[in-house]
Structure formats: structure tokens, C-alpha cells
Amino acid sequence: MSRLDSFIRRLEAQRACLNRAAELVRGIDGVVLELGLGNGRTYDHLRQLFPQREIYVCERQVAAHPECIPPADRLLLGDMFDTLPAARNRLGGKVALAHFDAGTGDATANLKLAAGLRPLIAPLLRPGGILATQQAMEGPDLIPLPLPEGVAEGRYHLYQRT
């Protein structure tokens, strides 16, 4: 598979998982948390999926498309290792859907980042809340869910908070 094919499949898997996640949280109150704004593509998709919900965004340094910059009061600006613990009072147990997309092309660094942030992300989710992530993050409090049809095992991950 070419790198172009792989890139396209990753984005298709990401979109399919976000769309599935939106169905899964339909009956669950709570906010949405985007972990990694980047260009703002998935933030924009989340805005379309969740027009009625507050969407909070974590990002170290905003460099998104001008139309995809979150309002200042919903932006957790800085390193997530600092901003997530600081947001625990505000967001702890209130997140219906978290989307983790903070990785780079470095698979080893991605695994380390995901392992480090997992214990900071899971407590923010409501019971029954969903985590969509490119990196595996299962644990006793995060149960893997089946992926949408057409998404290869391991390409993206969906978890439900116990």
C-alpha cells in the first residue's frame, strides 16, 4: 500500500469512527473534547456532528485554519500534560466524547504520548462516554468497542468508559 493509500485510509477511518462515536453518545449528556487541534479538520467535523454541544480543545500552539479556531474560553492552550490535570475540576466526568489526535509520524513517540496521557484523559469521560483515538489506549476503565464496517483493526480505536 502506498503512503498516499495509507493516509487516505487513516482519514477515512478517523471520519468513520467520529461518525460512529456521535451515534454512540446520542443519549449521553456532556461536552466534547478534541485533543490536538492541528489544522482544525477534525474540530470542524466535530462542530458539524455536535452543533448543540460545547467543544473544548487542547492544543500546545494554535496554527489552525482561521475558520477552525475555537473560542478562547473553550481552548485549553498549552501542553496537555499540564492543561488536562488543570481542567479536571471543570471537565472531570463531564466529557461525553473525547477525540485524541495528537500524534506525529513517529510511531514510538506516539505510543509513549498515548500511554502518558491515557490516565489524564480517562477520568474526564462520563461513564459510558466514548474515546476515539488513533493510538491504542485500552485499560480496565476503557473497554474496546467494535469498529465501523470497513475500518481495519488497529487503524483507529473506539473505547467506552466503564
Ligand X SMILES: C[S@@+](CC[C@H](N)C(=O)[O-])C[C@H]1O[C@@H](n2cnc3c(N)ncnc32)[C@H](O)[C@@H]1O
Q: Which residues in this chain contact ligand X in the complex, by CB under 6 A?
A: 36-42, 58-61, 79-81, 101-102
Shortest Cβ 101–ligand X spacing (Å)? 4
Shortest Cβ 120–ligand X spacing (Å)? 10
Nearest residue by C-beta to ligand X?
38
Answer whether 155's CB lies under 8 Å from 13's CB.
yes
- Amino acid identity of 12? E
Shortest Cβ 59–ligand X spacing (Å)? 5
Choice between 84 and 125, CB closer to ligand X: 84
Shortest Cβ 27–ligand X spacing (Å)? 26
Q: Distance of CA 106 to CAs 21, 34, 92, 109, 118, Å?
A: 26, 21, 30, 5, 18
Using CA atoms, how far apart are residues 131 and 129, in angstroms rounded to an integer?
7
Q: Which residues contact 115 (CB under 8 A, 6 or more apart)?
A: none
All 3 cell numbers of residue 142?
A: 476503557
All 3 cell numbers of residue 66?
A: 482561521
